[in-house]
Structure 1
């Protein structure tokens, strides 16, 4: 199977990704689509987040990254089917194909900044080797209204065309930053925690999807109001690049069985590993690989 075939089998065509969305993604680095999920669906996914967080507590997100001040949950699809619907968001899949070509699931992480917490330094998630070398697309699915006061994501529109800044070490691979030009030096903030000129704090109602090029400068902000701001960060990457969470390493029979062949292809789980039961036993015993990924 290949990506275009998988998308066709899932009913995803070019009409799922409008000219305006394509233009905004290319020029600004992001677009927003509201009304992807109903308020009831958003509530169900928010409650599933809370259920998982109650079970995992401070270990939540340990498969990828534990963030003080912002509860997380990772390895979602092996723990619940509540988020399977997010694997079928047509504009996200179409945009991933447009941006990345042959692509696969990269990661899926829940995040909820606590009152007075959630601020992140300005960063990009991945490096790039040349101007339009795109590695990852990030889709933020909102379960609560994302407001100006409850820790909205801050972005710098158009910055995906600029040089990478503050790339998490674990995502750098063998990439080494090139020397900066005087223009790039002047553009680079001295204080990554401070507001950046022209940055936008994204707001969107519950049930929306914020689709962004992960090479765009962005970061979390402080939840000043204390209102819940639960989201899913669903990421896709090129098929030649590693997944954030290697799905085959965590694959359960339950997930494998409920995915169609096209979905298995996009998740890179086309075969159920022979040692899957042993892997599950090891994970129940608390073993696993912790990583670091900023949002």
Structure 2
């Protein structure tokens, strides 16, 4: 897979978002799209049982171990590691791994104007969103609304202003939308008869708690299967030891590796 154009780093640093075209192969996009429906059934059953199904239509969380294709996608992200490292100024880990199936006239919390981190810093970036388009994103099927240059706008814009001024993140299936998590954005309304599917991943500085213990979910016994990229992004390099036996080990075997700041 070819290297990603450096213009995407510039767009992230200025406008606050960028779309990398056709980053994911058609074959992998097909597998991911097929995996989403059964993954949603599992989550909707749990939400129904626990009484938290309202306002969550088509939203999915913590998909990593549902299917091998979800792991494969994360592994394929290694090609944009330079973009990530430039954004964070260092290392990072997976914070969440979700998805959205946007059906015609569906309603979910992701369609409200929001941002995914409630604080920021002028000198350091803490969180990055990566949205993988599993269908073409168009104006009609709910392409994401995103307010360019809003990463330092602390006050939420009113809906009328936001929807007039926001850009639309359109793209072909297999493209990836990256944006600073401080950006004000909203999922679009789908007015077509076909679903608009996407995966929604977030990445944070390594010292942030991930929303799920992805290293444990993946499994310590499988760490030998991990490339250096996967070991880092799954959080194996930012673990907390549970005992003195785990603490007093050679540097290369430590859970919390150097450079995780």
Call closer, same or farther: CA 1:34–1:67 in 2, change over 3 Å: farther
Call closer, same or farther: CA 1:67–1:20 in 2, change over 3 Å: farther
> Retained in 2: the 8 A contact 1:61–1:109?
no
Count of residue pairs brought into register by the alignment: 236
Deviations 1:225-246 (A, max 9, x none): 1321111112110012221223
Q: State the SS of the aligned residue for 1:207.
A: coil
1:195 Cα deviation (Å)?
A: 4.2
Matched, 1:104 2:104: no
Match of 1:40 among 8, 27, 30: 27
Distance 2:44 2:144 in 1: 24
Matched, 1:21 2:12: no
Distance 1:273 1:113 in 2: 40
1:98 Cα deviation (Å)?
A: 1.1
Matched, 1:201 2:168: yes
Distance 2:123 2:113 in 1: 20
What residue is the counterpart of 2:147 in the other structure?
A: 156
Call closer, same or farther: CA 1:102–1:39 in 2, change over 3 Å: closer
Matched, 1:31 2:18: yes
With normalisation by structure 2, the TM-score equals 0.77
The structure with higher relative contact order (CA 8 Å, sep 6+) is: 1
Deviations 1:186-231 (A, max 9, x none): xx32xx4774332012111111111111111101121111321111
What residue is the counterpart of 2:104 in the other structure?
A: 115
* Greater alpha carbon shift after TM alignment, 127-136 vs 109-118: 127-136
Q: Residues 137-152 of structure 1: matches in 2 within 5 Å?
A: 137-152=128-143
CA RMSD in angstroms, aligned pairs only: 3.1
Unaligned runs of 5+ in 2: 243-261
> Retained in 1: the 8 A contact 2:92–2:232?
no
What residue is the counterpart of 1:130 in the other structure?
A: 121
With normalisation by structure 1, the TM-score equals 0.69
Q: State the SS of the aligned residue for 2:68.
A: coil
What residue is the counterpart of 1:229 in the other structure?
A: 196
Call closer, same or farther: CA 1:94–1:226 in 2, change over 3 Å: farther
1:130 Cα deviation (Å)?
A: 3.0
